[in-house]
Amino acid sequence: MFPLYWGQMRTLFLPLLLTALPSAGQTVRIAPTALPASMSFAPAALMQSPAFSAGLKSPSMSLPQVSALPPMSVLPSLRPALVQAQTAAVPQKAILAQSLAAAEEIQKSFQDPKTQNAGFEPLRRHFDGGVSVKDAVSAPSAASEASGAAVKNFHPAAVSFNGQEFPLQAFTDETVPSRFLVQAIDATKKTLDIAIHGLTLPEVADALSRAKERGVRVRIVMNSSHVYPEKPNQKVTPDVQRLLDEGFEMRMLRGDREHGLMHNKFAVFDGALLVSGSYNWSKAADKYHLENMLFTAETNRLQGFQGYWDWMWALAKPFGEPAGRPSGKPPVAKTRPIQFNGAGLPAFAFSPGGDAEYWLVQAVELARETIDIAMFSCTSRDMREALLSARKRGVKVRIVFDRFQYRMLPDMAWFLENGFDVRLGEGKPGPKGAGSMHNKFVVFDGKVLEAGSYNWTMNAKMNNFENAQFFDEAARVAAFRAYYGRIWQAAKPAAKGDAAPPPPARS
């Protein structure tokens, strides 16, 4: 196929889209975006030209400030209109089908190795993850249906909270997630319940202080070793010390046995916004690691995490007392709202001693086509046996591990030894070497996402305080598929010499 450039894309695609838009008197709201420098590219100049803006105008619609958008970001912004077209008259449905077909032809051209236009590299990177254009314009959130989606960092804003908008997810190869934390903290009015491994972000500590000063009740459960150093060279970070000095309500918690951790990284804002993911609240996560951050306002998910947080808070101990330890079982989800290949999965699962691994094994067993794994650490025998069984029945399994962790844990070599397609990834270069591939997420059959703090290890299952979540929103899953594509492309195939040597046999 010959390459399609912006002029051809506009000629082929936009007229079809515009014809499918609402009738006279209605408006499709497209907000401008502030893209990071890495997302800027040459065709943006064409977007800003009077001729281009004139070409977009139609007597039946209004597109203010459309010139600020990168070309393919127009798709999610027009999502409400496309949804309306899907439910309208047959001619509009036909036009929409033509529009999608044209968009898919454009997608193919981006994947064509003959396409050498460097200006489209960000778009090519986006499509390398295997995201279909149909996914990109389907299954809108309630927020985007109501008002149109504001495009930020190549993802439409989809979660509203106290007058602020947040994306469904944020990835550290595209943005700096701490800015969303500050935004959410500054928007909080009454309560903020936090469960974090540690804190090394002064701007977040500043935001927490502002929240406390304006009367927000801020409560923090933190991993004990970040407050009570357990190693000779370990110190309390200035940001944690500041929280203690300013009298925040803080309680400490540690996991079970020697290596157990309070490993969660989530917060519930005013009982109305949940922020979670693999992202530790740290400078390293912001600058060097490959991480993900998740945003949701789902009532069921919020209630589940609030119940889990309350359970941890009851176990944790205030500063000055020995840290709390696990006792009993964490809350269990009562519903199975995530539909996957004829079965239901819970929206969330918790540890220690909960049912997170059980549901992960179930998801692996339900998969029929593909399992794409980005996992910092994986040593669970049950998980690897489930994956081996999946591969034997024809499921394509791809795995990206963290390079450094792979060299530290001999058990992770099992996957390469048993014929799995394994690659090793790392983060951005930093003062102490490359950052980590710290993600813990899986995409099953391109339809269901699992993500959270939970590594696939026995420690996560039995000793750590962790969370795992399942999602089936098309837009969220599509974004993680694209992210996985970028991680996979950057990672290097594992070789026999990359693994840690097995431990010496006991005599």
List, for residues 168-195, the tens digit of each pLDDT value.
999 999 999 999 999 999 999 999 999 9
Kindly report whether the peptide bond that precedes residue 322 is cis, defined as omega within 30 degrees of 0: no
pTM of this prediction exceeds 0.85: no
Judged against a pLDDT cut of 60, whether residue 351 lies above it is answered with yes
The string of pLDDT tens digits covering residues 229-265 is: 766 777 788 999 999 999 999 999 998 888 889 999 9
CATH tag, 164-318: 3.30.870.10
| Positive/negative CA dihedral, 286, 287, 292, 294 | positive
The string of pLDDT tens digits covering residues 284-324 is: 999 999 999 999 999 999 999 999 999 999 999 998 888 88
Residue 446's pLDDT is 98
Residue 503's pLDDT is 65
How far is 107 from 478, CA to CA, in rounded Å?
Answer: 14
> What is the DSSP code (8-state) at residue 328?
S
Residue 267's pLDDT is 99
Please list, residue by residue across 109-124, b when 16 or more beta carbons sit within 10 angstroms of its beta carbon and e when fewer do: bbeeeebebebbebbb
Judged against a pLDDT cut of 90, whether residue 384 lies above it is answered with yes
Q: Where are the domains of the chain?
A: 6-146, 164-318, 338-498
How far is 126 from 123, CA to CA, in rounded Å?
Answer: 5
How far, in whole angstroms, is CA 40 from its chain's centroid?
A: 22
User: Are 466 and 351 a contacting pair, CB within 8 Å?
Assistant: yes
User: Are 422 and 493 a contacting pair, CB within 8 Å?
Assistant: yes
More confidently predicted of 389 and 145: 389
CA distances (Å), origin 438, targets 25, 28, 177, 351, 404: 49, 39, 14, 19, 11
User: Are 38 and 122 a contacting pair, CB within 8 Å?
Assistant: yes
User: Are 377 and 455 a contacting pair, CB within 8 Å?
Assistant: yes
Fold agreement (164-318, 338-498): yes
CATH tag, 338-498: 3.30.870.10
Burial classification of residue 23, based on how many CB atoms lie within 10 Å of its CB (0-12 exposed, 13-18 middle, 19 or more buried): exposed
Q: What angle do CA 390, 391, 392 make, to 5 degrees?
A: 90
For the ranges 24-33, 168-177, 332-341, the lowest mean pLDDT is seen at 24-33
User: Are 267 and 193 a contacting pair, CB within 8 Å?
Assistant: yes
Q: What angle do CA 407, 409, 415 make, to 5 degrees?
A: 90
User: Are 399 and 373 a contacting pair, CB within 8 Å?
Assistant: yes
- Local confidence band at 25 (pLDDT 50, 70, 90 cut-offs): very low
